[in-house]
Structures are given as structure tokens and as C-alpha cells.
Homo-oligomer: A and B are copies of this chain.
Amino acid sequence: MKKSVQNLKVIANVKLNNDHHLLQLHTPDQLENIVPGQFANILADQSQSIFLRRPFSIHAVDYQKNIISILIKEVGEGTRSLSHTPVNSSLNVIFPLGNGFSLPSSSEKVLLVGGGCGVAPLLHLAQVLSKDFNDIYILLGARSAVDLVELNQYAIYGKVFTTTEDGSHGEKGFVTEHSIFGVKLDSFSRIYCCGPEPMMKAVASKAKANSVSCEVSLENTMACGFGVCLCCVTETLQGHKCVCTDGPVFNINQLKWQI
């Protein structure tokens, strides 16, 4: 789909837990193909402390109803303001942006690993992957059971595993301590990963050790979101690349990570 600037109507705003909200945004136009991992850059109410747009992964897409969903974790003023957008008001959104995950061309066994708010693009990814009969394992990590949102949604598309740091849900520990990583990781043909950078590096390192192809979705401070400001670079083997256009998804082999 071509990127565009649109005023999307908020048709639902569901509070999932203390700091997560799920927003459903409706467009009157027919949605065209959005690649899982692409994101939207959203304008919050401008205030003294909110000047720029805020980027959010596209969490789910409903092509029938022309709805995109956004999962928002409150971390500062912008996410707080957006989390409290009233239903029926509209938000100014630039989307879809970025490259998205690369998808298998035939059925494969894939592992999706998400932690914290990094889970957002994985639902859409699972949704799309599940259409092509892939064998989908989804591992989600969080601090505690309350931080694991929408597990039932993921379960529609794949086998869901969890870890929590306090052991209140699934296995205790970090995602990379989950037993999936203990057994033969190379039974997976691909790993898709999204979450805090240390977690992604840990996953990438396991993937690399087992020679499994691995893609990660990076975050970065963005001013534009569509490749014109050059503020969002990450170091790659081909030099500085923009996370907003060359990414946010990168194959770990492209990155200069010490793993």
C-alpha cells in the first residue's frame, strides 16, 4: 500500500491492563496490503512536550472492515495522551511505513519471540503467516502475568508459550531461558523477534549459534518516519541505514551487533 496521511476514526479504545491500550482505527478507504512489521506514525495532541509524531507498529489489520489496530504502552506524555483518545474522535496517521518482515514463500516452521511492548507487530505477523499453513510457535515474555496481553488472540494463529520474570505465568525467567531455546532451535527455519534491545540481542545470539535466520524489529528516535530526516540511523554492514525506511525490520546478519 502507498503511504498516506489520513485522519482515522477511533472506533474502539480498550484498556487491556494498567498501561496497555488497544486502539482500533477505521479508514473509509479500502485498505491495501500492509506487510506485518510496518508501522504508523501518529500525531498526538500537540502540547509543550509533544511536538513530533509517535511511531507504533501495526498490530492487526482487518481488510474487510478497513480497520488497523494499535497496541499502546504508556511510557510518557505522548503514549499517555494517545491511550486516552476518546472513541469517535480521529487521529492523524501516516501509514503504512517501513519495510516489514520478510515472509516465507512456502510453509515453514517459524518462531515468533516478543517481549514487553515488542509484541505489537507479532500479532499481525502471526495472522498473515497462519494463512499460508506455517507451523507457528509464539513465545511471549513479560515481567509478570498481568503484563501478558491478548494471549488468546495469539493462540488463534499458533502455539503460544510464555515466560515471566516472577514466574506468575509460563516458565520463570527471560524469554531466552525458555525451554524452546534449550532444545533444537534449528528445527525452526526462521525466528522473528521484537522487544527490548538486550532481549533481541540475546535471541539473535541464540539464532546465530544455531544458524537460524533471524529478523528483528528495531526502535529508534524518529523525527519523520518516512526517510527524509536521517535521524533514525542504525549501524549496518552497509553503513548507516534508516530504521524507518530500511527497517524497522533487519536481518541480524545486516547489523553490527556484537553477538
Contacts and interface: CB of A to CB of B under 8 A. Distances in A.
Interface of A: 45-48, 51
A78 to B, nearest CB: 14
Copies in the complex: 2
A105 B45 CA distance: 52
Contacts of A51: 48
A221 to B, nearest CB: 20
In order of increasing CB-CB distance, the 7 nearest A-B pairs are A46-B48, A46-B47, A47-B47, A48-B51, A45-B47, A48-B48, A47-B48
6 contacts: A45-B47, A46-B47, A46-B48, A47-B47, A47-B48, A48-B48
A48 B48 CA distance: 6
Nearest to A46: B48
A158 to B, nearest CB: 44
Contacts of A48: 46-48, 51
A82 to B, nearest CB: 16
Contacts of A47: 45-48
A51 B45 CA distance: 15
Contacts of A46: 47-48
Query: Most chain-B Cβ atoms within 10 A of its Cβ — which of A45, A47, A51?
Result: A47
A113 B237 CA distance: 77
A86 to B, nearest CB: 11
A74 B227 CA distance: 40
Contacts of A45: 47
A92 to B, nearest CB: 15
A51 B49 CA distance: 12
A173 B110 CA distance: 81
Nearest to A49: B46
Nearest to A45: B47
A48 B47 CA distance: 6
